[in-house]
Structure 1
Amino acid sequence: MPPRCSRPTFYFFLKTGYFDISAELKPLLHTWSLAVEEHYYILFPLALMPLWRHGRKLILPVFAAIFVASLLFAQWSVHRHPSMAFYLLPARAWEILLGTLCAILLSRKEQPMLMAPQWLNQLGSLIGLALIVVAIFAFDGKTLSPGPAMLVPTVGAALIILFARPGTIANSVLGLPGVVLIGIVSYSAYLWHQPALAFFRLYFVEDPSHGVALALIALVFALAWLTYRYVETPFRARGALNLTRRQVFAFALLGLLAMGVIGFAGHHWRGFPSRNEQTLRLGQNGGLSFACSGAELDDKRCQSKPDPKIILWGDSYAMHLAQALADVYPDQGLWQMTLSSCPPVPGYMDAPIKAAITCDAYNERVIQRLRTLPHPEQYTVVMSSTSNLSGKVFREGTSRTFKELGALGYKLVLVSATPRYGGTLKCLKMHARQDGDFSSCTFDFKDTMNYTFFPAQRKFSEEHNVRFVDLSKLFCDGQSCGIQKDGVLLLRDEGHMSTESTGKLAAFLRGELRPAAAQVAGTAAGQAR
C-alpha cells in the first residue's frame, strides 16, 4: 500500500481562512482523510492493548462510549468550528469506530450476527443499501459534514457489513462483477479523482459539463486500474517486486528527500509565480507584512513608523487596506492589528481556530491595549471585516466596542468590505492565463453576495456617530461594477484587494477620509503646542 502522511489533516485545517482557495481547486485536498485514518491506525492499537490484556469484556462498551463522545463532539463542533470538525480526528473518529464496532461484533465467538434469521439479514441489508442511495442523491454541498446527516451513509454501510449475508439481495447486487471491480479499484480511484477534477477546473476555469465529467470519470477509473495492477498488487504480493527491506526504505527515503526539496523550493519562491507573470498580480496582500496576521502588537513590522496614530483592526479585509492607509497618513503612521478570519468583535467565539492564536484571544489583546493607550484622543481606529458587523451575530459586540472606544476618546472609522461577486475568481483565472486584461470582468451591484451589507453598515455607523467608508464606490458606477479601473487590477480574488491596487485605493481613501485626516493632523499639532 502506498505510504500515507498524517500531516495533511493539520495542513488543510490550519490553512482554512479568507486567503484560502476553494476546496474544489486543491488537487491534494482528499489526502486529509488518509491522514485521519493514519492517526486512527496509530491510536487504536494503543487504546486496544491494555483492554486486550486486562479487560476484554470492556472492549465493546469502551469503544462504544468513545463512538458516542466523538459523535456528540462532531455535532457541537460542526457549527462552532466547522474546519476543525471536518479535518481533525476527534470529530471524525466515530465514522471509523462504527466499522470497528461492527468488526468487534463479528469477531465474537458466539457470532450473533451470523445466527440472525434470513428475513432480518434481508431487511437490514436492504435498509443499508437504501440509506447509501439516499445519501448519494439527497446530499449536496450544503449538507453539514460531519453533521447528523452523515449517520445516513455510515449506518447504511454498517448495516450492509452486518447483514448482507449470502442469499440476500444486497449480497447478490454487491457481488456483481462490475460492482466488485469498482470495489477493487476504489482506493486507487479515490487517490486519482480529486487531482483530475481539480486540475481540470484550474485549467479550464469552468466546471466540467456532463459529457466531460463522464470522460473524467472514465479516465479516473482507467488510471485507478493501472495503479491497482502495477502499484497496489505488487506491493501486496510478498516477493513480487524482488526488493529487500533495505532497498524499500532507501527508495522511500530518496522520495521523501526529493519531495521535501521541491516543497521547500515552492514555499521559498511562493509557488514559482514567474512561470506566468500575470499570476504575480494575484498574489496575496498582507498589508505592511504577512507577519501581521496575529503578530504581537509591538511587532515593528506592523508599524509604518514609530508611535503610529492610525490603528487598523480587523480580518484579512482590513489587512489589504494597510499599505494604502499608511500612504494616506504618512505623518501619523499606521499600526496594523489584524488576524485573518477574525472580525474585530471582542468576545466573538465562532471564528475558525488559528495555529498561533484564537480570534477571541487576539481581540482581547487588542481591546486591552486600546484601553491602556495614553491620550486615546490622538488616535483613529479603522475597523474592517468581510462580515456584516451590523448583522445580528455581530451587532451587539460591535455596538459595545464603538461605545467604549468612543467614550475613551478614539475617533472611529468603519470601512466596508469590497463587493463580492461569485464569478470574479473564474474571470480572474481566465484572463490571468490569457491576456491579463480584466476589463470584461464586470457585474451588477445588485448581484453581489453582500449587497445588503453596505446600506446596513452605513445606517449602523450613523447610529453610533462613526465615519463609514463604502468601498463599493471604488468598484461601482451606479449599478455596474468592475474589478479593473484605468488598467489597474483592484481584486486578487472574490473580495481581497490586490497589491497593485494600493495607489488607487489610497487615492480613494484620501478622498473619503480627508476631513478625518485633517482633524487628526490638527489634534496632533495642538498636542505638540
Structure 2
Amino acid sequence: MKFFLFVIFSLVIIIISGLFTDGYSNRFTKKENEIFNSIYQGTNERNCLAADRDATRGLLERCIYGGNGTKILLIGDSHANHLNQFLLSLKDNNGSQPQIAEFTQGACNPILDFSYSISPSIEHATACFIKNSKTMNVISTYNPDIIVMSARWPRSNKMHQLIDNQLEVVDLKKFELKFEQTLLSIVASGVKVVVVNDIAGTGDIGYNCPIKRVLFSDSRTCLVDKPNYDDWFISLNNRLSKKITYNFVDLNKVICNNGLCKTESLGLPLYKDEGHLNQLGSQSFANFVSYKDLIN
C-alpha cells in the first residue's frame, strides 16, 4: 500500500511540474521547440472547414475575416482552407490586407451540379453536392471581388458519381466537363476567378523530416520528388484559360525546382501533415506570389 501511494504521489508531482514548465519544453533546444510548434499551428482555428454533417450551412459570420481590402471568397476543400494564411498575408493594389470569406468543406472539390465523391461514399457525395449547390448564392450574397478555387484535385482517372441513388464509376472526362461548366457559371457572375493547383505534399519524406534531422543530427535534405499526378490538371487549365477568362496559379513553381520540392523553409516545416500546409507554410507563399501575381 505504501509503495502504491508513493507511485501515485510521484506521478502527481511529475504532472504538476509539467504544467508549470510548459510540458518540460526546456528539455528541447529553442530550435527544436520552434520546429514542433510550427507543425501544430494549423489553418482551421476558426473552424470554417465544414464536415459532411455541416453541408447545409452557408457562409458563417466567423468565416469572414482579415482586413478591409479586396474581398476574396475562398472555396474548395481542406486544400483551399490551408491557403487562407497565404491570402491574408497579401497586400492588394491599395496596400490593404484582403478580407477573406471562407466557404470550404472537407474532401469536396468546388464543382457545381456534380454529385461525386473521391471515396465510394453515398453520404459524402450527397453532402458535397448540397454544399456546392449553395455556392452561387454565397457569391451573390457576399459579392466578392475575387474568387479563389482550390482543392485536392482528382489524382486518378476514375471517380464515383451518385446517379439515381447509386454510386457509379465515371472517368476524368466527366469531371473535366463539370469543371469547365463551373468556371463558365462563376465567371458569368462578373467576378475575377483564380484557380490554384494543389501543392506537392511531403510524399515518403514526411512532414516531420526537419525534426528528425535535428534530433538525429544527420544531413537529410527533406526534399521530395515532384509528383506528376497533377500534369493533367495543369494541361486542362492551360487549355481552358485560352477560352475562359480566369487565372491559373501553380504554387509548385514556388517550392519545386529540377524535379524536387521543398518541405521546409529555413529549417522549419511547411506542412502539418503529409498534404496540408501549416500556418508558416501557408504564409510563406506570400513571399513569392504577390497579389498582382494572383490575379494576372
Q: TM-score range by the shorter chain?
A: 0.5 to 0.7
Following the alignment from structure 1 to structure 2, what is the Cα–Cα distance between the partners of residues 432 and 333? 34
Following the alignment from structure 1 to structure 2, what is the Cα–Cα distance between the partners of residues 288 and 369? 22
- Tell me the residue number matched to 2:13: none
Q: How far 1:387 moved relative to its partner?
A: 1.1
Closer/same/farther in 2, CA of residues 421 and 306 from structure 1, 3 Å limit: closer
Q: Radius of gyration: which is bigger?
A: 1
Contact 2:194 2:294 in 1 (8 A): no
Structure 2: state its 5+ residue gaps: 1-22, 158-171
Aligned ranges for residues 259-274 of structure 1 at < 5 Å?
A: none
Structure 1: state its 5+ residue gaps: 1-271, 520-529
Following the alignment from structure 1 to structure 2, what is the Cα–Cα distance between the partners of residues 285 and 407? 34
Partner SS state of residue 138, structure 2: helix
Q: How far 1:448 moved relative to its partner?
A: 4.4
Q: Does residue 105 of structure 2 align to residue 339 of structure 1?
A: yes
Output one character per residue of 1:180-232: Cα deviation in whole Å (capped at 9) or x when no partner.
Answer: xxxxxxxxxxxxxxxxxxxxxxxxxxxxxxxxxxxxxxxxxxxxxxxxxxxxx
Contact 2:48 2:102 in 1 (8 A): no
- Tell me the residue number matched to 1:432: 211
Partner SS state of residue 473, structure 1: helix
- Tell me the residue number matched to 1:514: 292
Closer/same/farther in 2, CA of residues 430 and 323 from structure 1, 3 Å limit: closer
Aligned ranges for residues 163-312 of structure 1 at < 5 Å?
A: 277=33, 278-283=35-40, 285-287=42-44, 289-293=46-50, 296-305=57-66, 309-312=71-74
1:492 to 267, 272, 278: 272
Following the alignment from structure 1 to structure 2, what is the Cα–Cα distance between the partners of residues 472 and 489? 16
Q: Which structure has more RCO (C-alpha within 8 Å, separation ≥ 6)? A: 2
Contact 1:420 1:449 in 2 (8 A): no
Closer/same/farther in 2, CA of residues 448 and 442 from structure 1, 3 Å limit: farther
- Tell me the residue number matched to 2:252: 472
Following the alignment from structure 1 to structure 2, what is the Cα–Cα distance between the partners of residues 499 and 354? 31
- Tell me the residue number matched to 1:214: none
Closer/same/farther in 2, CA of residues 423 and 460 from structure 1, 3 Å limit: farther
Partner SS state of residue 494, structure 1: coil
- Tell me the residue number matched to 2:127: 358
Following the alignment from structure 2 to structure 1, what is the Cα–Cα distance between the partners of residues 129 and 258? 38
- Tell me the residue number matched to 1:112: none
Output one character per residue of 1:319-370: Cα deviation in whole Å (capped at 9) or x when no partner.
Answer: 0001211221544411111011000012232335779x81111111222322
Following the alignment from structure 2 to structure 1, what is the Cα–Cα distance between the partners of residues 24 and 109? 30
- Tell me the residue number matched to 1:225: none
Following the alignment from structure 1 to structure 2, what is the Cα–Cα distance between the partners of residues 298 and 273? 41
Instruction: Determine which structure has the larger strand proportion and give its number.
Output: 2
Q: How far 1:430 moved relative to its partner?
A: 5.1
Closer/same/farther in 2, CA of residues 288 and 416 from structure 1, 3 Å limit: farther
Following the alignment from structure 2 to structure 1, what is the Cα–Cα distance between the partners of residues 24 and 60? 28
Instruction: Determine which structure has the larger helix proportion and give its number.
Output: 1
Q: How far 1:490 moved relative to its partner?
A: 2.0
Number of residue pairs the alignment of both structures matches = 238
1:373 to 134, 141, 145: 141
Q: Does residue 75 of structure 2 align to residue 313 of structure 1?
A: yes
Aligned ranges for residues 390-405 of structure 1 at < 5 Å?
A: 391-405=172-186
